[in-house]
Amino acid sequence: MGLTLYFLRHGQTALSRQDTFSGSGSDPELTPEGLQMAQAFADAYHSKSWTAIYASDSRRAIETAGPLHERLGLPVEVRPGLGEIAYGEWDGLSKEEVKRLYQEDYEKWLSDPFWHAPTGGETAEAIVQRVLKVTDEIRKKFEDGNVLIVSHKATIRIILCELLAIDIGRFRYRLDCPVGSVSVVEFKEQGPLLRSLAHLCHLSEALRNLPGT
């Protein structure tokens, strides 16, 4: 059968709705619509044979994992290594504000976030190292089965690039990851195989078309 990882981005928050930088330095809760997204995932996917549930230590990730946890009784294994990128001084700011206040750092980050960090924040290289520790832990523990990982926009895109041998410095321009979406990677003999990217079919049309990112 093999091991399959389901990377679920948390549901909508007020900051994702506003398209504001929201990293490890902020901890917003889900909006009512975000809670609906979490419930919709559990409703659509509860019948799968789940082996484990992992989530970052942020409130929005744990809340998103909640409905499936309650439905199945599986514990949520919290791992800080799955947290969102540290945006440092940019946390809570809009793109326009960051461009105005930190133009040089912002331009460097846009050109190659693998080597350049947000002001006072974290590089994509650092994120790869901490997330790989978690995925390696999971792969050592489970040879097969379905494992849910509830994480964040930048973090999911970065680890997908690492697993699929995509230039991590281009993660913002190669992979989409809207709120409530799920991407599926199956580990085969030949290596990781992307089964699904940014899948949203478990959400209603209204939830899929909400403003924000």
Residue ranges per structural domain of the chain: 3-208
The closest alpha carbon to 179, from 2, 13, 1, 3, belongs to: 13
Has residue 213 got a pLDDT over 90?
no
Has residue 3 got a pLDDT over 90?
yes
Q: How many CA atoms lie within 13 A of 155 on its CB side?
A: 32
Which tens digit of pLDDT belongs to each residue from 62-97? 999 999 999 999 999 999 999 999 999 999 999 999
Residues contacting 132, CB < 8 A, separation 6+: 159, 162
Has residue 16 got a pLDDT over 80?
yes
Does the CA dihedral 72-78-84-87 come out positive or negative?
positive
pTM here is 0.97
13 within 8 A of 34, measured Cβ to Cβ = yes
Domain 3-208 sits in CATH at 3.40.50.1240
Phi, psi for residue 145 in degrees, rounded to 5: 105, 175
Rounded to whole angstroms, the Cα distance separating 180 from 70 reads 18
For the CA atoms of 125, 189, 183, 154, the dihedral, rounded to the nearest 10 degrees, stands at: 0
Confidence of residue 25 (pLDDT cuts 50, 70, 90): confident
Confidence of residue 212 (pLDDT cuts 50, 70, 90): confident
Mean pLDDT of 143-153: 97
Phi, psi for residue 184 in degrees, rounded to 5: -120, 125
pLDDT of residue 119: 98
Confidence of residue 26 (pLDDT cuts 50, 70, 90): confident
Mean pLDDT of 184-202: 97
Higher pLDDT, 24 or 8: 8
Has residue 52 got a pLDDT over 80?
yes
Confidence of residue 165 (pLDDT cuts 50, 70, 90): very high
